[in-house]
Amino acid sequence: MSINKDNNILYNERFPLSNKYEPNWVLDNSMGPNALWLTEWLCETMDLKPDMRVLDLGCGRAISSVFLAKEFGVQVWAYGLWIKATDNWNRIKQQGLGNKIYPIHGDARNMPFADGFFDAIISV
């Protein structure tokens, strides 16, 4: 399917990177406000470089993690409590990003990471 502003219900000129994603995929995997728009907006203030380590805290269905890995080439730890890591792993593999995104099911109050491990942390 060719995605353009005429057939994309989520098209927004303000978010050109987000416009590349299939609208039904975004809607099917959303858990609230448009995570792609929020992530794209947040990344405008960040200097993300390929292979940086990013923690996507409270990742939901990992669509923000997919966006980060695809658009910036970063490695993402998709950390969340509400969606099983296996479900996110399947979604991540379907996007061809199994070598870039690492899903983890866990509580933010007890994370297993060393201080300073991540180059950036986001939570949308």
pTM for the structure as a whole? 0.92
Q: What's the confidence (pLDDT) of residue 9?
A: 78
Q: Tell me the Cα Rg of the chain.
A: 14
Task: Give average pLDDT by consecutive 10-residue segment, the chain, 124 residues.
Answer: 60 95 93 95 98 98 99 99 98 98 97 96 97
The pLDDT assigned to 4 comes to 52
pLDDT of residue 2: 47
Q: What would the pLDDT profile of 60-70 be if each residue is shown by its tens digit?
A: 999 999 999 99
Residue 119's nearest CA partner among 82, 72, 80, 85 is 72
- The domain segmentation of the chain, as residue ranges, is 32-122
> Which CATH number applies to 32-122?
3.40.50.150
